[in-house]
Every structure is written in C-alpha cells, then in structure tokens.
Amino acid sequence: MIVTAGVVVIMVMLITTIMLTLVLIIIWRTPPALVALYFIPFFIMEGAYVSAVFTKIPEGGWLPFAVSMILALIMFGWYYGRQRKAEYEMANKVTVERLGELLARPEVQRVPGLCFFYSNIQDGLTPVLAHYIKNVSSLHAATVFVTLRYLLVAKVDERERILVRRLGPGGVYACTVQYGYADSFRGDDLTAQVTSRLRRHVEAEAGAEEAARLEAAWKAGVVHVRGKMRFYVGDDAGWFDKVMLGFYEFLHGICRSALPALGTPLQRRVEIGMMHKV
C-alpha cells in the first residue's frame, strides 16, 4: 500500500508540473524564459523520483498504472465518439437557405412561444433541426439557436458574453454565449440575459414590429430544446467502430443532460433524439 501510494503521489506531482506548464504557456501567456525557470528544475527533480519508484512497480506500483489505463480508455472512447458526432454534424449541418426551404413548406406551422434551441455548431445549424421540422412540422414563432462557447480565459467581459444576430427567416435568430473557466450562470439568468440582448438587437436592426412579435412570443411561454444525436452501429460497420461507438453510446446513456446543468426548469425542457447510422 505504501509503495502504491508513493507511485501515485510522485506521478501526480509530475503531471501537475506538466499541466501547470501548459497553463503558463497557453492561457497565461508567460514568457518562455520564465516558464523554463519553473519547468526545468521541477521536471528534473520529479523525473528522478519517478525513475526511482519505477523499480517498485512489481511490488504493487502496477495498480495505479492499471487504473490510469482504464481511465485513459474511457476518455479515448468518449473523445472518439464526440469526434465522430462532430464530423457528422458539420457534414450535414443545416444552412440558412436550407432552413428557409424547410419553413416554406405548406405543412410547416409557426406555433406561439419563444424557443431556445441548443446546438454545438458555430457555423450553421445542427442536423437535428431538419429532423425536428420534418417530423413535427412546426417551429416556434421566435426561435433562438444558442451555442455555448468555452474560452480559455478566466472571465468573459459582459459586453462580449452574449452575441446575437438575425438569421434569414423571420423570427429566427442565432446566439453565441461565451464564458470562461471561472464564469458561472444559471438557466433563468441566461434566458433573461439572452432575451434582453436579443430585444435590444431587434429594436435596433429590425424595428418595432418585429420587437413586438418577439415580446408576444416571450409572453406566450419559453421552452428549451436540446438535440440529442445517437449512433446506430449497423452490422456493416468495422469492429473498431462497433466497440468504440458502442462504448460511447453506453457512456452517453449514463451521462447527465446539459439542460439540468444550466438550471432550466423541468417543465420547460424538451430533448429531441435523432439516430445516425454508422
């Protein structure tokens, strides 16, 4: 037990040194000379300790390495699934022109209310949107496509926190919410901030009539929609995809939804599923 603890402690120290060095370079923009003054002495000292405890691996030091390998496999499975999902979304994203075509169909109706439609795509709209419109044949009178963007800064200036713009079809807007690693916000606060910023933007860009329609949609009720794309691994998929994407789907199934994390009320949350065959 003492040997295992020693291996864990020194590895944590070495990893902490490496991670802090990356923070100094990438986030804090520290001059290379100062980074070297920190990194070189600590790396040499901790590297010497690591080489010493490696001789104790047969005596029990193998356990933390086995645990770390399991954790690394879990992280790789999650990363691989997320990358495949992002590639599909970018290849099949809905453009503003395509959205206009979908909304122009005679069977598609605009229903009262304000909808916040969450998406991970910065340039374009999620393919879940096309799936939603084709199957439900409706879209809220005012729909805001919200993308949460994480920045490598502590806090984002309030003037740059929420960026909104008007898309082509009437009553459809895009919003990017930028936040840093020290920022925190709740769903109700976020909803109020986005709506307030959007109202000012509409009044300045489009005029009173569209601002009145936005206000009417707000009073009719607010709903938060999140698209949830899942993989369907067919028999013709390769063995690697079957294993990794099947494992990703297991992890995805036991993970918490993003909407509760934002603090949005339960009665206002809607999740839309979409299957993608691999």
- State pLDDT tens for residues 95-121: 889 998 999 899 999 999 999 998 888
Q: Of the segments 127-136, 175-184, 204-213, which one has the largest average pLDDT value?
A: 127-136
Q: Taking residues 168-191, report their average pLDDT.
A: 78
Task: Answer for the pair 38, 21: CB distance below 8 angstroms, yes or no.
Answer: yes
**Of 153-157, 218-222, 246-250, the least confident:** 153-157
**Of 108-117, 252-261, 268-277, the least confident:** 252-261
Q: Both tokens of residue 170?
A: 């009437």
Instruction: Give residue 160's pLDDT.
Output: 84
Helix (H) or strand (E) holding 81: helix 62-91
CA distance 247 to 166: 39
pLDDT range class, residue 257, cuts 50, 70, 90: low
Instruction: Give residue 144's pLDDT.
Output: 92
Contacts of 148 (CB under 8 A, 6+ apart): 118, 177, 179
Instruction: Give residue 115's pLDDT.
Output: 92
For 180-212, letters b (16+ CB in 10 Å) and e give: beeeeeebeebbebbbebbeebbeeeeeeebbe
Q: Taking residues 135-151, report their average pLDDT.
A: 88
Q: Taking residues 184-192, report their average pLDDT.
A: 69
Cα 16 to chain centroid, rounded = 25
Residue 6 has pLDDT above 70, yes or no: no
CA distance 112 to 104: 17
Residue 29 has pLDDT above 50, yes or no: yes
Instruction: Give counts: helices (H), strands (E), the chain.
Output: 10, 6
Q: Of the segments 64-68, 109-113, 185-189, 252-256, which one has the largest average pLDDT value?
A: 109-113
Task: Answer for the pair 57, 11: CB distance below 8 angstroms, yes or no.
Answer: no
Burial of 132 (0-12, 13-18, 19+ CB in 10 A): buried
Which has the higher per-residue pLDDT, 1 or 7? 7
